[in-house]
A and B are shown apart, each in its own frame.
Chain A
Amino acid sequence: MKVVTGVVGNDIHVVANRLIDLSLKARGYEVFNLGVNTYLEEFFDACVETGADILLISSLNGEAEGWSREIRSLKSKYKDLDNLIMMIGGNLAVGTGDPKTIVPKYEKYGFDLVCHQIDLNTGLDMLQDFVAKRDKT
Chain B
Amino acid sequence: MSLLQEERKIILNNEYVESFDFAEVEDFVKNANKELFISHHYAKRTKILVQPRGGFPTYKKQFALNEFFVKANVDVLPLTIDSNTRLNDYGTAAKMLRLSEENDVDMLNGYPLVNHGYRATRKMVTHFNKPVSLRHGTPDARLLIEQAIASGIFDIEGGPVTYVLPYSKNFPLDKAFLYWKYVERLCASYSRLNEPINRESFGPLTATLVPPSITIVIQLLEMLLSLEEGVKSFSVSFAQQGSMMQDIVTGHVLKKLAQYYAEKINCADARINLVYHQWMGAFPTNQKYAEQLISLATVVASIVGADKIITKTNQEAAGIPTKEANAETVANTQYLLRILNGLPNIHDEQEEEMLILQVKAIMEAVFNDHADTLWRKVFNSIKNGTIDVPFSPHIINHNDMITIRDAQKNIRIIKRGNVPIPDKCFDYEKSQCDLSKDTTSIVNDIIHDIGIMQ
Contacts and interface: CB of A to CB of B under 8 A. Distances in A.
Interface of A: 12, 14-15, 17-19, 21-23, 25-27, 33, 35-37, 120-121
A37 B169 CA distance: 8
Contacts of A26: 438-440, 442-443
Interface string B437-454: 011101110110010000
B439 A15 contact: no
A18 B391 contact: yes
Interface of A, secondary structure class, is: helix
A121 B444 contact: yes
A37 B438 CA distance: 31
A124 to B, nearest CB: 9
Interface in B349-398: 390-393, 395
B208 A15 contact: yes
A23 B390 CA distance: 15
A23 B438 CA distance: 11
Contacts of B169: 35-37
22 contacts: A12-B167, A12-B393, A14-B391, A14-B392, A14-B393, A15-B208, A15-B450, A17-B393, A18-B391, A19-B446, A21-B399, A22-B443, A22-B446, A23-B440, A23-B443, A25-B439, A26-B438, A26-B439, A27-B440, A35-B393, A36-B393, A37-B393
B402 interface: yes
Contacts of A14: 206, 391-393
Given A33-B399, A35-B395, A121-B444, 17 more contacts: A12-B167, A12-B393, A14-B391, A14-B392, A15-B450, A17-B393, A18-B390, A18-B399, A19-B446, A19-B447, A22-B446, A25-B439, A27-B440, A35-B393, A36-B393, A37-B393, A121-B440
Contacts of B447: 19, 120
A120 B444 CA distance: 10
A120 B442 CA distance: 14
B443 A19 contact: yes
Nearest to A28: B439
**Interface core residue of B208, B390, B443, B444 (most chain A CB under 10 Å):** B443
Contacts of A12: 167, 393
B419 to A, nearest CB: 17
A135 B198 CA distance: 63
B313 to A, nearest CB: 22
Identify the 5 closest CB pairs spanning chains A and B, nearest first: A26-B439, A14-B393, A23-B443, A36-B393, A37-B169
A46 B237 CA distance: 39
